[in-house]
């Protein structure tokens, strides 16, 4: 049985006494445990070699190799000198590789992009396949991780393949925070070698167990959508003249997945979650100056993936169907309107909401109020519409039933004092925003049936909430407990989860408001279905994120 590894304690040990390099050390260790190579990009003197040396100290008894490449570095310096005895006695060209890169477990190659063509092919095979061709023999290379460093990214086409082998890319800057600078200066010089406590040292067996466990961890559906969204956007950018600027090979996508799986395993989870997706920031850029732009794309993709994971179609479908049955019940549903549009001489006038009711002192029922365009005076006049269709103008009552509930298309005559020329003005309903449901006449049996359906909808909504896994404040706890992802890496996820939570609250508010109106036999207005349109399952998808209805008292 694999032993338990205290990864948090190991990470704290790695960062001891180091200023502003904690993230570089964490991500480098993650890359090493995932079997991925690490590239540190930054100016000289930014502790890139320190990261490699500390990483080497993590593995028990590891063989460490370090070298600075120049344009004149020969293969002998990297892979070992030619064995003259083998050449003389057996006529075989081979190298004495002991103590050189082919036998190292952790290696640091500085200025790696200065590798000559004589070195490049063997280096690529070691980095990617962990093999070295020594004469006629294929030698397995025990390399756990290769940490490389460079001051700049390569421009030469022949180095693109080498650059692509590095799945983990860390942009290392000089220390900029004033307090951190002082902290660095105050530290005493020490020749003491960095040591990892014996109980925290990792063995080859530990690394093999971690890699085996992480390889079986699946991606959550939301993470798959995240990858597809980011890949689609980068592929579109790579279609232009700067194709290599945004190009990400299939190999690097696979490496990125491996990195996320390893992070999930080390954090004790059995599935790769969107939180792990923040690590894509360290995998997909090709130029350091593009890292920020890539980060924004990851943020947007995280937000979209988190929001899309909220699949409320089953809830919305049943909601629309229930509203439809309520609407079609005699005496319950009636249309509501946002207002009217007046057209005169080719000009359209959008009128105000006509739902405001006024109670007259006489026996008239509530009337609708609005405005009317008077062509003779080129003015808009106020009017009131009685339920029987009669119109009362602001100047007095005109008993002319020219307006109806269906359309308001009319040729107007105004009795003794005409105020509108015949045919000069047409009136149309504005957009129908939904229906009003009046439950005052609903009997107890039907009321109980609908309340039971609403209770079932509440249960279904709760099931969807639980299936999401992370919501709201939960993500804070997960990020705080994540060993490799910082809060700034998952800003998009936080925004997406916030939107998801708001939608869930909106749906909960809808269900409660309708439940209250039905229980108290009051009126409920909703914009979730059209008053005239038939109710379909497909129309349910339009409801995600729309404003909720409410009871009218």
User: Among residues 252, 261, 309, 258, which one has the least CA distance to residue 286?
Assistant: 252
Residue 266's alpha-carbon distances to 4, 258, 262, 545, in angstroms, are 10, 12, 6, 37
**Contact assessment for residue 492 and residue 300, using Cβ atoms and an 8 Å cutoff:** yes
pLDDT digits over 200-254, tens only?
999 999 999 999 999 999 998 889 999 999 999 898 887 765 677 888 999 999 9
Q: How far apart are CA 149 and CA 145, in angstroms?
A: 13
pLDDT given at position 202: 94
Q: Which of 181, 207, 233 is the last residue of a domain?
A: 207
Residues 146 and 197 in one domain: yes
pLDDT given at position 419: 34
Number of domains in the chain: 4
Residues 21 and 159 in one domain: yes
User: Among residues 59, 138, 137, 67, which one has the least CA distance to residue 99?
Assistant: 67
Residues 324 and 469 in one domain: yes
Residues 168 and 24 in one domain: yes
**Contact assessment for residue 211 and residue 2, using Cβ atoms and an 8 Å cutoff:** no
Residues 49 and 126 in one domain: yes
Q: List the chain residues with pLDDT less than 50.
A: 352-380, 393-423, 545-553
Residues 155 and 227 in one domain: no
**Contact assessment for residue 17 and residue 180, using Cβ atoms and an 8 Å cutoff:** no
Residues 139 and 159 in one domain: yes
Helices marked H in 142-203: 160-164, 178-186
Q: Which of 431, 459, 486 is the last residue of a domain?
A: 431
Q: Is 408 left (phi over 0), alpha (psi -120 to 50) or beta?
A: left
Residues 369 and 325 in one domain: no
3-state secondary structure of 312: coil
Q: How far apart are CA 468 and CA 496, in angstroms?
A: 12
**Contact assessment for residue 43 and residue 176, using Cβ atoms and an 8 Å cutoff:** no
pLDDT given at position 434: 78
pLDDT given at position 431: 56
Q: Which of 431, 450, 481 is the last residue of a domain?
A: 431
Q: How far apart are CA 318 and CA 312, in angstroms?
A: 10
Helix (H) or strand (E) holding 391: strand 391-393
Residue 158's alpha-carbon distances to 37, 110, 119, in angstroms, are 19, 18, 12
Residues 365 and 490 in one domain: no
The span from the first CA to the last CA of the chain, in angstroms, equals 66
Query: What's 218's DSSP letter?
Result: P
pLDDT given at position 546: 37
Residues 203 and 321 in one domain: no
pLDDT given at position 459: 93
pLDDT given at position 343: 62
pLDDT given at position 500: 81
Task: Count CB atoms within 10 A of the CB of residue 233.
Answer: 16
Q: How far apart are CA 48 and CA 51, in angstroms?
A: 5
Task: Count CB atoms within 10 A of the CB of residue 335.
Answer: 15
Full-prediction pTM beyond 0.75?
no
Q: How far apart are CA 121 and CA 263, in angstroms?
A: 31
Residues 403 and 446 in one domain: no
pLDDT digits over 310-341, tens only?
777 888 889 989 999 999 899 898 877 655 56
Residues 202 and 320 in one domain: no
**Contact assessment for residue 529 and residue 434, using Cβ atoms and an 8 Å cutoff:** yes
Q: How far apart are CA 450 and CA 259, in angstroms?
A: 51
Helix (H) or strand (E) holding 438: strand 434-438
Task: Count CB atoms within 10 A of the CB of residue 353.
Answer: 14
Long-range contacts of residues 45-51, Cβ cutoff 8 Å, at least 24 apart: 45/174, 46/172, 46/173, 46/174, 47/18, 47/21, 47/172, 48/110, 48/149, 48/172, 49/108, 49/110, 49/149, 50/18, 50/21, 51/21, 51/24, 51/25, 51/147
Q: How far apart are CA 176 and CA 179, in angstroms?
A: 9
Q: How far apart are CA 264 and CA 268, in angstroms?
A: 6
Residue-wise DSSP of 26-57 = HHHHHHHHHT--EEEE--TTSSHHHHHHHHHT
Domain that holds residue 8: 1-207
């Amino acid at each position: 049985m694999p032993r338990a590894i205290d990864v948090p304690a190991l990470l704290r040990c790695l960062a001891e006494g180091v200023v502003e390099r904690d993230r570089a050390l964490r991500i480098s260790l993650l890359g090493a445990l995932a079997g991925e190579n690490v590239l540190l990009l930054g100016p000289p003197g930014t502790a890139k070699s320190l990261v490699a040396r500390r990483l080497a100290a993590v593995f028990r008894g590891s063989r460490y190799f370090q070298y600075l490449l120049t344009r004149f570095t020969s293969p002998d310096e990297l892979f070992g000198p030619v064995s003259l005895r083998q050449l003389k006695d057996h006529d075989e060209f081979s190298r004495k590789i002991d103590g050189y890169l082919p036998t190292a477990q952790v290696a640091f190659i500085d200025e790696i992009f200065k590798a000559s063509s004589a070195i490049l092919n063997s280096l690529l095979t070691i980095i990617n396949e962990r093999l070295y061709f020594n004469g006629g023999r294929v030698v397995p290379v025990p390399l756990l991780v290769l940490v490389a460093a460079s001051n700049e990214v390569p421009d030469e086409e022949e180095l693109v393949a080498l650059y692509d082998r590095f799945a983990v890319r860390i942009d290392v800057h000089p220390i900029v925070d004033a307090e951190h600078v002082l902290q660095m200066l105050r530290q005493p010089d020490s020749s003491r070698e960095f040591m990892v406590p014996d109980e925290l040292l990792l063995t080859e067996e530990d690394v093999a167990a971690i890699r085996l466990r992480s390889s079986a961890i699946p991606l959550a559906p939301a993470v798959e959508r995240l990858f597809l969204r980011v890949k689609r956007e980068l592929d579109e950018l790579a279609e232009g003249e700067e194709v290599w600027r945004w190009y990400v090979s299939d190999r690097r996508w696979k490496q990125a997945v491996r990195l996320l799986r390893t992070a999930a395993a080390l954090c004790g989870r059995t599935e790769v979650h969107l939180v792990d997706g923040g690590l894509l920031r360290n995998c997909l850029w090709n130029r350091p100056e593009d890292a920020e732009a890539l980060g924004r794309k990851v943020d947007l993709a995280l937000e979209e993936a988190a929001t899309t994971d909220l699949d409320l179609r089953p809830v919305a479908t049943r909601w629309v169907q229930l509203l439809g049955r309520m609407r079609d019940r005699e005496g319950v549903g009636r249309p509501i309107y946002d207002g009217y549009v007046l057209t005169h001489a080719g000009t359209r006038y959008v009128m105000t909401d006509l739902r405001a009711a006024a109670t007259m002192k006489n026996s008239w029922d509530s009337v609708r109020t609005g405005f009317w365009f008077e062509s003779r005076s080129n003015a808009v006049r106020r009017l009131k519409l009685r339920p029987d269709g009669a119109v009362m103008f602001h100047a007095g009552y005109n008993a002319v039933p020219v307006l109806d509930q269906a359309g308001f298309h009319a040729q107007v005559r105004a009795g003794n004092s005409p105020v509108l020329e015949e045919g000069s003005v047409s009136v149309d309903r504005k957009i129908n925003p939904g229906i009003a449901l009046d439950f005052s006449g609903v009997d107890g049996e039907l009321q109980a049936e609908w309340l039971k359906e609403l209770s079932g909808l509440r249960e279904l909504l709760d099931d969807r909430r639980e299936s999401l896994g992370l919501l709201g404040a939960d993500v804070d706890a997960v990020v705080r407990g994540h060993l490799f992802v910082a809060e700034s890496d998952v800003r998009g996820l936080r925004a997406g989860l916030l939107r998801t939570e708001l939608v869930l609250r909106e749906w909960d508010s809808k269900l409660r408001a309708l439940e209250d109106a039905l229980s108290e036999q009051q009126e409920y207005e909703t914009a979730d279905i059209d008053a005239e349109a038939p109710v379909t399952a497909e129309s349910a998808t339009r409801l995600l994120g729309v404003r909720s209805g409410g009871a009218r008292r």
